Amino acid sequence: MKRLSTRAAKAVRLVLFLCAWAAFVWMAWRVFAATDKERLWEACLVCVGSLVLIVLRIPEVVHEAGHLLFGVCAGLCLEEVRIGWLSFGRGIRLAFGRAQAGETRFTLRSERGAHAAFFLAALGGPFFSIAAGVALLVPWLVFDLRVALTLFALLAPFCLEEGIAELLPAELPTGKTDGLVLCELASRTGETEVGIRVMTAQLLLARDPLAELPRDLLFGAPVVREDSPAFTELLRLQRQYLLSRGDRAGAEEIGTRLAAIASEQGAGEKSDAVTIE
């Protein structure tokens, strides 16, 4: 699938967002139209309750729950789940100063089947969002627009919007969409592939000497931008590998490259996990 430009992805997401709100208004109007005057207060209370759940980002929680469940079932090790400023991993903490999109971070338990495991984890979020949207909407339509079902049914447009929007293959200011991660996993390209190679190398180092790592694992990685934390970590591993093999000239060249990256962009964060949004 062709990668969308950031501008095109933003435009499509804006259209989906507006459609979700239009559907919310239409559903709320239908509920009010079908409710007796004596029970209008119930319809008002339900609509306000749905708005509160939307503000609390429940559709986003559903999306990240899909990543979490599919990733854990695929054998990945959960590193962190973040919703807005709340981060759940080794305890609960506030993550101010970071992009406010939800994200789930995984590391590998085993080097076998890494791409398939991450593919399932990335697919889990959109699948859960779309499935939840359909599951919430169908009973509301079937059972005569009952007010009791409306509280959660009004979340359906936003769950569907979240799932469909995340399938777009694009990189946004908040990070890569699930669609782009799926494309990179299928084609074994991009920063996702680099991150998997780094984690695989770290797993192998737990039982094998550095010099015995497959050279292609470190030096056959795809080309990505140099400000990527995964790429910086790959360079560190390449430098250590060359030193272990006695190639000091090659190690010095990579060391110079690392120093240049650090001076231009700072040391950056260590990348030993793949982030799925």
pLDDT of residue 38: 82
pLDDT of residue 77: 92
- 108 strand-pairing partners: none
Confidence of residue 266 (pLDDT cuts 50, 70, 90): low
Are the C-beta atoms of residues 182 and 123 closer than 8 Å to each other? Answer: yes
Among 9-18, 54-63, 98-107, 246-255, which is the least confidently predicted range? 98-107
Are the C-beta atoms of residues 156 and 136 closer than 8 Å to each other? Answer: yes
Interval 125-136 mean pLDDT: 96
Read out DSSP for 111-135? STTHHHHHHHHHHHHHHHHHHHHHH
Residue ranges with strand state E in the chain = 77-83, 86-89, 91-94, 103-107, 171-172, 175-176, 274-276
Are the C-beta atoms of residues 167 and 16 closer than 8 Å to each other? Answer: no
pLDDT of residue 263: 82
Among 99-108, 226-235, 236-245, which is the least confidently predicted range? 99-108
CA dihedral (78, 64, 277, 106) in degrees, to 10, reads 10
Q: Is 188 helix (H, G, I), strand (E, B) or coil?
A: coil
3-state per-residue secondary structure call for 204-257 = HHCCCCHHHCCHHHHHCCCCCCCCCHHHHHHHHHHHHHHHHCCCHHHHHHHHHH
pLDDT of residue 127: 97
Reported pTM: 0.87
| Beta-carbon-side half-sphere exposure of residue 214 (alpha carbons within 13 Å) | 10
Cα separation, 209 vs 74, whole angstroms: 28
User: Can you tell me which residue has the tokens 């697919």?
Assistant: 123
Instruction: Check residues 1 and 158 and name the one with the higher pLDDT.
Output: 158
pLDDT of residue 159: 96
Please, what is the angle between helix 40-55 and helix 58-73, to 10°?
50
Number of residues that make up the chain = 277
Are the C-beta atoms of residues 177 and 166 closer than 8 Å to each other? Answer: yes
- 106 strand-pairing partners: 78, 274
Instruction: Check residues 257 and 148 and name the one with the higher pLDDT.
Output: 257
Radius of gyration of the chain (CA): 23
pLDDT of residue 261: 86
Contacts 24+ apart (CB under 8 A), 241-248: 241/210, 241/211, 241/213, 241/215, 244/209, 244/210, 244/211, 245/211
Are the C-beta atoms of residues 128 and 65 closer than 8 Å to each other? Answer: yes
233 Cβ neighbours under 8 A, 6+ residues apart: 198, 270, 271, 272
Q: Enumerate the domain spans of the chain.
A: 6-186, 188-276
Confidence of residue 110 (pLDDT cuts 50, 70, 90): confident
178-234 residue pLDDT tens: 999 999 999 999 999 999 999 999 999 988 888 888 999 999 999 888 888 889 999
pLDDT of residue 146: 66
pLDDT of residue 145: 60
* Residue-averaged pLDDT of the chain: 88
